[in-house]
Structure 1
């Protein structure tokens, strides 16, 4: 085992970036006021994309002053930084045809690992809220249309006034290690050949996080596990999850796959995993994801030269 920390340090999309100032969200006319102030920094979210520019070896978001048309768009108050500069996201539709724009921007998956703490937090929060607004246009109680309120942090029913708040779906994601210290990697049903990751699944009602780890491993590959330990957690707004990472020890290595979920699974030694990555027979998750970091935690070092 390598010398990595017990938990995952500097995890992408997991670090605080600015003060959210939740107490300001209910202020009357907050968004129109901020969007009339040239000092406000605006993140324009086009579908799931935003513009970035190079900043040395890293990237930073393009944050612009408000424009008059921003007042006609969905606005999301994201908070302020230490200099009291306010940040607002405005959500626009993605291009409807290829070539509508010379540069359609970049997705959070593409650039999240290269953004600083503030910009990663801005992009992650804006995308999570925008995804929630997109799929909740109607009241769950009566079916009437809802409208944004509290600077984008809730939707209110236009008929009976009930308030509906953004939700986050909790998922567990875990390395499973056998008695010989081999790592289990699995290919999900419907995934392309060679695309493998660690196991994951959603938390069920009335279930603890450790209980979800044990259940998901048992259901998907037929293993009993023990020694469940927390590694870290990461916002994952694709569309609305929180990924909570763990490691666990399997009591045996014999696998029984849940075919509706898992196409194939196998155990890897560290040497076998690195060789499979090198020859292209195994593709691991991107650097922005906690899945990649969990694999590297077991490995003891980063996996080099994999985009």
Structure 2
């Protein structure tokens, strides 16, 4: 697919400076570099500017706000030769923070740190991802995903002892059994399944009213992408799929997936929904999808901008999948 890397979170060409990760002296020098900057996160939310054009905030490494960090900075890479890090401030609790207000399908709440101006806020990445440049999006996705991994891998899976951050934040080491643990990404297939002039769409329980998307599911051990597409579509909808191909991928840090966008040709059309997997599935014609994408359909909302489902559907409608 010629425009595959135009999907959100993909294709910025970030220099990840992998050669520095295992070099303690090089990391120390990078953090002391006067051009070094850090992206700041709170509970997975990046620090953003609310002024237009909105974007990620980059702070100097000696900024006072970083005193609230518990763990060392994580090296994300280089921008224009300058080192870029990520710092997690999740140990800080905003004054008057309402846990209930920061829950739900899409967190609309914003948090402000007293050491920062009011126009700098921590905002949910899914809500602001379409505001970001490709570089900001890649940095935000990388930082969010790596912090999510650290949060749930603080103990050795082999012996249970607390592990220690290493390798610039891209490894955890067990001081007891010397086991090394590295970040993991879960492969997920998301499929544009077509039959003639129609595409297969579904919705999960708990989604907002009117929200539909392409079917998707995790790839199992020992399974090809093609086999995963056929299995997931049949399990969720009862539709059989024949030929399958790959289109594009998208890092999806919610919390740590890599979405493999695929196409597939259905060889059956009867739908039998598995209620454990999805709530509803239906075939939607190209004409109806045009109405949906323009926001004029009476029952179905457009796919969420920034997600690969929206990207694939828009390319299908415009005949630019090849």
TM-score tier after normalising by the smaller chain length:
0.7 to 0.9
2: CA distance between counterparts of 1:6 and 1:23?
Answer: 30
Shift in Å, 1:144: 0.4
Q: Does structure 1 conserve the Cα–Cα contact (< 8 Å) formed by 2:145 and 2:253?
A: yes
Alignment partner of 1:155 out of 172, 191, 199: 172
1: CA distance between counterparts of 2:111 and 2:245?
Answer: 48
TM superposition score normalised by structure 2: 0.84
- Determine the structure 1 residue equivalent to 2:130: 113
TM superposition score normalised by structure 1: 0.88
Residue by residue over 1:248-296, the C-alpha shift from the partner in whole angstroms, topping out at 9 and shown as x without a partner, is: 1111211111110111111111222343541452123321110111121
1:206 matched to 2:222? The reply is: yes
2: CA distance between counterparts of 1:193 and 1:273?
Answer: 17
1:90-129 matches, cutoff 5 A: 90-93=87-90, 95=93, 97-98=97-98, 101=112, 104-129=121-146
2: CA distance between counterparts of 1:72 and 1:37?
Answer: 21
Q: Does structure 2 conserve the Cα–Cα contact (< 8 Å) formed by 1:174 and 1:247?
A: yes
2: CA distance between counterparts of 1:256 and 1:6?
Answer: 35
1:137 matched to 2:137? The reply is: no
Name the stretch that deviates more: 24-33 or 260-269: 24-33
Q: Structure 1 residues 54, 104: closer, same or farther in 2, change over 3 A?
A: closer
Alignment partner of 2:313 out of 292, 295, 299: 295
Q: Which structure has more RCO (C-alpha within 8 Å, separation ≥ 6)? A: 1
Alignment partner of 2:240 out of 224, 246, 271: 224
**Uncovered stretches (5+) of structure 1, i.e. residues with no partner:** 303-307
1:43-192 matches, cutoff 5 A: 43-53=39-49, 58-67=53-62, 69=66, 72-81=70-79, 83-93=80-90, 95=93, 97-98=97-98, 101=112, 104-178=121-195, 180-192=196-208
2: CA distance between counterparts of 1:232 and 1:206?
Answer: 21
Q: Does structure 2 conserve the Cα–Cα contact (< 8 Å) formed by 1:74 and 1:92?
A: no
Q: Does structure 2 conserve the Cα–Cα contact (< 8 Å) formed by 1:31 and 1:75?
A: no
2: CA distance between counterparts of 1:208 and 1:23?
Answer: 32
Instruction: Quote the RMSD (CA, aligned, Å).
Output: 2.3
Q: Does structure 2 conserve the Cα–Cα contact (< 8 Å) formed by 1:182 and 1:269?
A: yes
2: CA distance between counterparts of 1:7 and 1:38?
Answer: 37
**Uncovered stretches (5+) of structure 2, i.e. residues with no partner:** 99-109, 113-117
- Determine the structure 1 residue equivalent to 2:102: none
SS across alignment from 1:186: strand
Alignment partner of 1:36 out of 32, 42, 51: 32
- Determine the structure 2 residue equivalent to 1:282: 300
1: CA distance between counterparts of 2:171 and 2:298?
Answer: 45
- Determine the structure 2 residue equivalent to 1:26: 22
Residue by residue over 1:204-243, the C-alpha shift from the partner in whole angstroms, topping out at 9 and shown as x without a partner, is: 0111111110111111111111221211000001001000
